[in-house]
Amino acid sequence: MSEPTWTPARDEDAALVSGTGAFLDDLDPLPGTLVAAVVRSPHPHARVRGADLERARNHPGVAAVIGPDEVRAAVRPFPLSTATPMPYLPSAVDTARYVGEPVAVVVATDRYVAEDAAELVVIDYEPLDVVVDTRRALEPDAPLLHDEAGTNVATDRTFAFGDVEGAFAAAAHTVRGEYTFPRYSSVPMETYGVVARWSEDADGPAVQAWANFHGPFTMVPVAAGALGLPTSRFRLHVPADIGGSFGIKSGIYPYVVLMALASKHAGRPVRWTEDRIEHLLASSSGAGRVMAFEAAVSEDGRVAALRADLVDDVGAYLRPPEPSTLYRCFGNITGAYDVPAVAIRARAVVTNRAPTGLNRGFGGQQLYFGLERLMDAVATTTGLDVAEVRRRNLVRTFPHRTPTGGLYDSGDYARALEMLVTKGGYDELRARQVAAREAGAYYGVGLALVVDPSGTNIGYVGLATPAQDRTPGRDKSGSTEIVRASVDVQGVVTVLLGSVPQGQGHATVARRVAADRLGLPVEQVRARIEMDTATTPWTVTSGSYSSRFAPLVTSAVIAAVDRLAESVRGAATVLLGLAPDAAARLELADGEVRDPSSGTSCRFRHAAGLIHWDPGSLPAEVPARTSAEGEFRPPEAVAATAEDRINSSLCYGFVAEMVGVRIDPDTLEITLDRVASVHDAGTVLDPVLLEGQVLGALVHGLGGALYEEFRYSDAGQPQSATFLDYLCPTSAETGFDLVSDHLESPSPLTPLGAKGCGEGSSMSLPVAIANAVADALAPAGVVIDSLPLHGEALFQRMCTDVVAPATTSVHVPDEGGLP
Amino acid sequence: MKAAPFAYHRPASVAEAVDTLATGDAKVLAGGQSLVPVLAMRLGRPGTLVDITALSELGRLERRGDELCLGAAVRQRRVERDPLTAAVPLIGRAMPFVGHRELRSRGTVCGSLAHADPAAELPAVAACLGAVVEVTGPHGDREVPAASFVTGAMTTAVSPDELVTGVRFPTAGPGEGFGFAEIARRHGDFALAGVAVRVRASSSGALRDATLAAFGVSDRPVVRDVTDLLADATTEAELRPATAALAAEVVDTAGDAHGSTAYRARLLGVLAARELARAHREALA
């Protein structure tokens, strides 16, 4: 018997599986740090008439208690993406607007004492009327969350591209559907964590904070601004190890502000570690959406135009980066299809629920749930097979410019669909369906095709503001990444990544990319993960979100090591006795710098050593560069046009997915019989990591399809604040038959041809499962227009006269829009 | 999510444990898989915890005649793995549904009984089989039939100054068949509906009696003598009308987003028919 061996797939793994990772709660960067507990509103909507903090302040072991007065006096509302007056502060000052909203912070010697004292905080609440339903919040007589706004609608924009009205007038069929996507999360294993210290420095107050925040770094000036500090005096550190986020931890920054203020009052550094109940109650989630989609369809099933009416429930505040859920997929809103005309109404509405934000598949989960359910409705109306109707509408040439301004850089959607149908066994699953129906059972097959955007162009944020109101010279754009590379005296190269990964394996891939580019063995390259806003290169678009690593960070790694290599080549000319202008022809391979014309070579490390030890020997035109920053700034990421067109991402990958489901006719339990998933993320940088991302996104999608949902009672009370009620799929739920494959359509826009791959199936699997369930139950005439789907959800649709909650308030005006 | 202050007591004997409970405002800690989260969420704040896990006199797992005897400190995972448990087949059928393996490695059988969650498996198994719960207290020892042990949601016949010391399950004899099934949103979740079933045949192969315990559908396990149901229906399909009627009568939980009252009744009817048919086949095999 040989000893079991293990070869880690990633450089990060050995530390993680042996318990030596260093997560935020493992760090103790500042001696004497105290511990905070947050007092939260039990009311979904209430006026805060007063706060009695004295008993808590007098409790033994308590250093400080801050409440509405302290926050009002010291914190400015966060800058928002729209002009609608819905001021957002890190805690409630005059009004609490969701259950779990912070109202006070207790700082004490430890968490037990802090929680004991938190029970002594007395807040005088006057309950107000509550609105939790998205459609209800739109109505003129709905309770208002923000009186100054005079409406619950935080943003309402309409767009039209191409001849939409003409296409609908000429259409053989108009196919329409209303759909609801639930708010759900990705439930990272590690919760939010902050250590913050307020100090009075020589040039004024300053904050130093540690947080498991991962961007977008647009939130750094937002957080600093709330404290009235320049970003130069707001120094943020992010630990190298973050225990997952999938977007959720981008919502941590208000707590950084709150703990900085708590530290100011305590006179000591303050640590706050969110517990699981706090996390499920009030951290963040994807936005819920109600939407109506309409397609103008020809006799042969071609979609000539789309109308989309999107209403996002963003919770009690338009917390930045919302309303980005509406716009992240703006450039790819027509999905996989060549649709020349589209009209969009995009609204975000506030409700008495927790604020929303980034979640894996951001914006695409919601979009494709509507669009891909609609494509099934098109198939039903035209009598076409669901694969055939999609095939007829596919984008077939690349690059492809969408009517909304997106530029699909590369792809082969038709081939991906054929791979799916063939390798996934579409005909076989249809045969199973026939057999099941003959036996009186339910079996269904569902498809979903999604364009998977990566490398966000933050310019889409501008779309929330009408073009005429966007200030000239204050446009936003960009998908920039910056990386620093350095070489030491022994020729070891280090790439410094401020990419704030949450477990994706950035270091492993960056190291290999750099080694390949420099012709070095990986042992001679290190990748260091570190974010300190005072020393690490960063810009507002920095961060680990929007599947940026593969397309953007690796491109910046190449830019940085190329600049470094310029010096190494120059130094090599000295060692090889060549003229300085020979540097450009020198090749880097096998740890050497080679002159291809003569065959002579020197060691890379000797050339690097020369830069350190003997820079006096370098010719004047050779830079004595031992470190270099490289940035990747793709020219395709520009601000929105005056016509509101935008290329909202740099790269567009593709996912084709198929699901076969069985539904027990007695218990109505849904069983996944097969999942088939074909991905195109451009050039594959690491097949193992790609597979990991695919599996992770599938399980995330599975959660939204069958298990997870943040539910609220009509009175606004959360009903899923523990893992007893918020159900994440576990390994026991993932034993389905999976067929996975990929193709590679390299992006012409990134040096390696790579696109992002972290989110695809999060967007496609929820709707693929919904399509399969709808197909299975089609003989029973069951409407599937919302998630999650499970026995009880099907029972409500099939076996009761009670209309399901999701559709109770549907009323379709004559013009066919949402209210 | 940190517990309010409490005193922790680890008695050296059952007598000392009872003495500590008599001081009032005390709670017994065994596996802690339900109690500790309750403390952490401050949903309960007993002044004293009495940890009985070190009491060797409560650690017995043994067969005595036609009974399997489990002490109050015996963990579920030990019961699951011990060969003696084969004498009570229904325990083996039910145990994989009790939480997850990690929870069972800490949780105790008696703790599950004493906690009396309406959706828990083991109280239903105990009630179905007619197990006997052993209780001690300031006024001495007493025995409580499992069928009357649970008196409501999270409440039992044990008074605050008493301690569950063990439980005795009857071992299976020849001609006995069993069924156990539950439906939950995910594996390991509390059941939306579940059944534990025992069917006994006489030595001549005739049906002697049949018992069904339903859980997750009321404030406590609901035990029914279903011998009559099997008198003229023995396959799942034949049983369905009768089990559906039984379920409609038994299910009185208010339901929730995971399972309404009506859906739970549907599930119970289906599971009862399936498991009664299975147990009947087994008993008469």
Closest CA to A253 of A186, A185, A194, A317: A194
Distance, in angstroms, between A112 CA and closest chain B CA?
A: 6
CB contact under 8 A, B187 and A800: no
The number of residues making up chain B comes to 285
Query: Residue A183 in contact with residue A285, Cβ under 8 Å?
Result: yes
pLDDT over 80 (residue A752): yes
Cα separation, A298 vs A290, in Å, equals 26
Closest CA to A399 of A355, A451, A348, A447: A451
Q: Which H helix or E strand runs over A211?
A: strand A204-211
Closest residue in B to A796 (Cα) is B263
* Dihedral over Cα of A116, A120, A123, A124: its sign: positive
CB contact under 8 A, B266 and A795: yes
- Over residues A423-442, the pLDDT tens digits come to 999 999 999 999 999 999 99
Assign domain B56-170 one CATH number from 3.30.1490.20, 3.30.465.10, 3.10.180.10, 1.20.140.10: 3.30.465.10
Residues of chain A contacting residue B2, judged by C-beta atoms under 8 Å apart: 111-112, 115
Cα separation, B134 vs A382, in Å, equals 69
Amino acid at A747: S
In the stretch 76-135 of chain A, residues with CB closer than 8 A to chain B read 111-112, 115-116, 119
| Interface residue of A192, A280, A667 to substitute, partner B, most B CBs within 10 Å | A667
Per-residue model confidence (pLDDT) at position A806: 39
- Whether a cis peptide bond, with omega within 30° of 0, leads into A60 is no
Q: What letter does residue A549 receive in the DSSP assignment?
A: I
Strands B67-71 and B61-64: antiparallel
Average pLDDT over residues A112-123: 98
Residues of chain B contacting residue A119, judged by C-beta atoms under 8 Å apart: 42
Parts of chain B belonging to CATH 3.30.390.50: 176-283
Class of domain A481-632: alpha beta
Q: Note whether B2 contacts A: Cβ–Cβ < 8 A.
A: yes
Q: Note whether A791 contacts B: Cβ–Cβ < 8 A.
A: yes
Predicted ipTM of the assembly: 0.96
CB contact under 8 A, B257 and A707: no
**Residues pairing with A238 in the sheet:** A531
Option in A669, A711, A730 nearest B183 (CB): A669
pLDDT over 50 (residue A802): no
For chains A and B, count residue pairs whose Cβ atoms are closer than 8 Å. Answer: 71
DSSP letters for A674-720: EEEEEEE-BS-S-HHHHHHHHHHHHHHHHIIIII----B-TTS-BS-
Provide CB contacts within 8 A for A27, sequence distance 6+.
A195, A210, A239
- Whether a cis peptide bond, with omega within 30° of 0, leads into A321 is yes
A510: confidence class by pLDDT, cuts 50, 70, 90: very high
- Over residues B216-260, the pLDDT tens digits come to 999 999 999 999 999 989 999 999 999 999 999 999 999 999 999
Per-residue model confidence (pLDDT) at position B232: 86
| Interface residue of B182, B260, B271 to substitute, partner A, most A CBs within 10 Å | B260
Residues of chain B contacting residue A705, judged by C-beta atoms under 8 Å apart: none
Closest residue in A to B190 (Cα) is A724
pTM greater than 0.95 (yes/no): yes
pLDDT over 80 (residue A810): no
**Residues pairing with A493 in the sheet:** A487, A525
Extended strands (E) in A492-546: 493-497, 525-529, 531-532
Closest residue in A to B258 (Cα) is A792
pLDDT over 80 (residue A487): yes
Cα separation, A689 vs A506, in Å, equals 10
A731: confidence class by pLDDT, cuts 50, 70, 90: very high
Option in B186, B257, B259 nearest A730 (CB): B186
Token code pair at residue A401: 């410019």
* Dihedral over Cα of A734, A735, A736, A738: its sign: positive
Closest residue in A to B265 (Cα) is A667
**Residue A248 exposed, middle or buried by CB count within 10 Å (0-12, 13-18, 19+):** buried
Q: Note whether B258 contacts A: Cβ–Cβ < 8 A.
A: yes
**What fold is seen in the domain A13-128+189-244+248-282?**
Aldehyde Oxidoreductase; domain 3 (3.90.1170)
Per-residue model confidence (pLDDT) at position A199: 97
In the stretch 95-124 of chain B, residues with CB closer than 8 A to chain A read none
A478: confidence class by pLDDT, cuts 50, 70, 90: confident
Strands B255-256 and B259-260: antiparallel
DSSP letters for chain B: --PPP-EEE--SSHHHHHHHHHTSSEEEESS-TTHHHHHHTTS---SEEEE-TT-GGG--EEEETTEEEEETT-BHHHHHH-GGGGGSHHHHHHGGGSS-HHHHTT-BHHHHHHH--TT-HHHHHHHHHT-EEEEEETTEEEEEEGGGTEEETTEES--TT-EEEEEEEEPP-TTEEEEEEEE-SSTTSPPSEEEEEEEEE-TTS-EEEEEEEEESSSSS-EEEE-HHHHHS--SHHHHHHHHHHHHHHH----EETTEEHHHHHHHHHHHHHHHHHHHHHHHT-
CB contact under 8 A, B266 and A667: yes
Distance, in angstroms, between A423 CA and closest chain B CA?
A: 29
Option in A722, A733, A795 nearest B263 (CB): A795
Residues of chain A contacting residue B258, judged by C-beta atoms under 8 Å apart: 725, 727, 790, 792
**What fold is seen in the domain B176-283?**
Enolase-like; domain 1 (3.30.390)
Query: Residue A209 in contact with residue A236, Cβ under 8 Å?
Result: yes
Cα separation, A807 vs A399, in Å, equals 40
Per-residue model confidence (pLDDT) at position A813: 38
Closest CA to A398 of A385, A388, A407, A386: A407
Parts of chain A belonging to CATH 3.30.365.10: 154-185+285-458+642-802, 481-632
**What fold is seen in the domain A154-185+285-458+642-802?**
Aldehyde Oxidoreductase; domain 4 (3.30.365)
Parts of chain B belonging to CATH 3.30.465.10: 56-170
Query: Residue A330 in contact with residue A457, Cβ under 8 Å?
Result: no
Within a 10 A sphere around the Cβ of A40, how many other Cβ atoms? 22
Distance, in angstroms, between A772 CA and closest chain B CA?
A: 19
Parts of chain B belonging to CATH 3.30.43.10: 7-51
Per-residue model confidence (pLDDT) at position A6: 81
Within a 10 A sphere around the Cβ of B102, how many other Cβ atoms? 11
**Residue B37 exposed, middle or buried by CB count within 10 Å (0-12, 13-18, 19+):** middle
Per-residue model confidence (pLDDT) at position B62: 98
What's the CATH architecture for B7-51?
2-Layer Sandwich (3.30)
- Whether a cis peptide bond, with omega within 30° of 0, leads into A399 is yes
The dihedral formed by the CA atoms of B22, B26, B32 and B38, expressed in degrees to the nearest 10: 150
Cα separation, A414 vs A394, in Å, equals 7
Parts of chain A belonging to CATH 3.90.1170.50: 13-128+189-244+248-282
Token code pair at residue B55: 């009491």
Q: Note whether A805 contacts B: Cβ–Cβ < 8 A.
A: no
- Over residues A250-267, the pLDDT tens digits come to 999 999 999 999 999 999
Average pLDDT over residues A138-148: 97
Question: Could you give the angle at the alpha carbon of A110 between the alpha carbons of B46 and A530, nearest 5°?
Answer: 135
In angstroms, the first-to-last Cα distance of chain B is 53
| Interface residue of B185, B266, B274 to substitute, partner A, most A CBs within 10 Å | B185
Half-sphere exposure of A133 (CA within 13 A, CB side): 14
Average pLDDT over residues A473-489: 94
Closest residue in A to B100 (Cα) is A732
Share of chain A above pLDDT 70, in %: 98
Average pLDDT over chain A, rounded to whole?
95
Amino acid at B37: P
The number of residues making up chain A comes to 819
pLDDT over 50 (residue A333): yes
Cα separation, A147 vs A363, in Å, equals 28
Provide CB contacts within 8 A for A6, sequence distance 6+.
none
Closest CA to A812 of A176, A216, A210: A176
Which single residue is written with the structure tokens 């972290």?
Answer: A758
Option in A276, A669, A719 nearest B1 (CB): A276
Token code pair at residue A574: 């000295």
* Dihedral over Cα of B170, B171, B174, B175: its sign: positive
Give the distance from CA B97 to its chain's centroid: 12
Residues of chain B contacting residue A276, judged by C-beta atoms under 8 Å apart: 1
Go through A683-722 and write b for each residue having 16 or more CB atoms within 10 A of its CB, e for each that does not.
bbbbeebbbbbbebbbbbbbbbbbbbbbbbeeebbbebbe
CB contact under 8 A, A667 and B258: no
Segments of chain B scoring below 50 in pLDDT? none
Cα separation, B244 vs A407, in Å, equals 58
Query: Residue A671 in contact with residue A802, Cβ under 8 Å?
Result: no
Per-residue model confidence (pLDDT) at position A26: 95
- Over residues A164-222, the pLDDT tens digits come to 999 999 999 999 999 999 999 999 999 999 999 999 999 999 999 999 999 999 999 99
Residues of chain B contacting residue A725, judged by C-beta atoms under 8 Å apart: 257-258
* Dihedral over Cα of A70, A72, A76, A77: its sign: positive
Closest residue in A to B240 (Cα) is A666
Q: Which H helix or E strand runs over A55?
A: helix A54-57
Provide CB contacts within 8 A for A738, sequence distance 6+.
A674, A675, A676, A677, A698
Residues of chain A contacting residue B34, judged by C-beta atoms under 8 Å apart: none
Which single residue is written with the structure tokens 């039984």?
Answer: B246
Closest residue in A to B273 (Cα) is A666
Closest residue in A to B191 (Cα) is A724
Query: Residue A451 in contact with residue A408, Cβ under 8 Å?
Result: yes
In the stretch 689-708 of chain A, residues with CB closer than 8 A to chain B read 707
